[in-house]
Structure 1
């Protein structure tokens, strides 16, 4: 019944804004290149701008931590790891979120929650009025761990983000074609 709840997603702060601003700038540059030099030149410029957007997407938006009552899903760039709560010994924050497994392996989370700074108190508010614990991602993970559906035979799953890797391969081939076209024409 509690597993039907959608997973809690922790993303890198500000990544969507950075991606949006960069996408607008890239689109403006491509439109400007098309107007000045034509569609052919814009197509030779496009893979470089799209590779930049790919890097921002993979590092900032796709890299995240998703947690629910069954476990934690971690995506670090193009690598995915699913860790069931029953296999997790410790959830800690060092420089980044670290999940220590029962076999001693440590899964470090590139994107994900961080400890919140203490919030500023407005005029007339006391520390008791501030809800510091509600904004702490580590505390939210600990609460999910306490609500966990424990399955002793659960396994840690590792995989690759195939769509991101395929997109990178297409962009890399496109960039190589752009280099070949500009060098030999």
Structure 2
């Protein structure tokens, strides 16, 4: 058992998603800044929705999928779909390629975000426990298991999963698409 107290809410996301968002944001800012310098603000505003659409797809494919844990449940977001699963309904937490939560007579909720069990880690990227090297993904899954076990021990009730959509992600897509349609109309449509 770890001596560190769990935080109120933990967020597990693949580091590559954060890196991809930062890189795509920097590239988008460079492209839009270049458009302002070369063509002016008006032309940049007509170009911006297409650049932002590319950044949105990076968000969707690399950054949106995440695992969030708190004292009462785990929330798994796969792309734009969110599923909140109460800890009392969880029967097992496994790591295949990705984290899998087993509930309700063997049903599974696979998490596309969070730790993955890819290739064995390099020595510099592994944690050493008692002389044994351990990939970071195993350490993170153990933290999820400890959170689950602590919640079950404290009597968190079960229940059914609740599903919802990432409204911020869908809302931003709607704004970008509307902006793109305005840009198409302002430029006279496709040639």
Please give the TM-score of this superposition, normalised by the length of structure 1: 0.82
* Corresponding residue pairs, total: 180
Q: Which residue of 1 aligns with 2:185?
A: 180
Q: Which one of 34, 42, 45 corresponds to residue 43 of structure 1?
A: 45
Q: Which one of 59, 62, 86 corresponds to residue 61 of structure 2?
A: 59
Instruction: Extract unaligned runs of 5+ from structure 1.
Output: none
The alpha carbon displacement at 1:63 in A equals 1.7
SS in 1 for 2:116: coil
Task: Kindly report the root-mean-square deviation, in angstroms, between the aligned alpha carbons of the 2 structures.
Answer: 2.8
More strand by share: 2
Q: Which residue of 1 aligns with 2:102?
A: 100
Q: 1:101 & 1:61 partners in 2: Cα distance? A: 26
The alpha carbon displacement at 1:103 in A equals 4.3
Please give the TM-score of this superposition, normalised by the length of structure 2: 0.80
Q: Which one of 152, 156, 165 corresponds to residue 157 of structure 2?
A: 152
Residues 134 and 93 (structure 1), Cα distance of their counterparts in 2 relative to 1, 3 Å cut:
closer
Q: Which moved more, 1:74-83 or 1:89-98?
A: 89-98
Q: Is the 8 A contact 1:119 1:130 kept in 2?
A: no
The alpha carbon displacement at 1:130 in A equals 4.5
Instruction: Extract unaligned runs of 5+ from structure 2.
Output: none
Residues 162 and 127 (structure 1), Cα distance of their counterparts in 2 relative to 1, 3 Å cut:
closer
Q: Is the 8 A contact 2:97 2:117 kept in 1?
A: no
The alpha carbon displacement at 1:131 in A equals 5.5
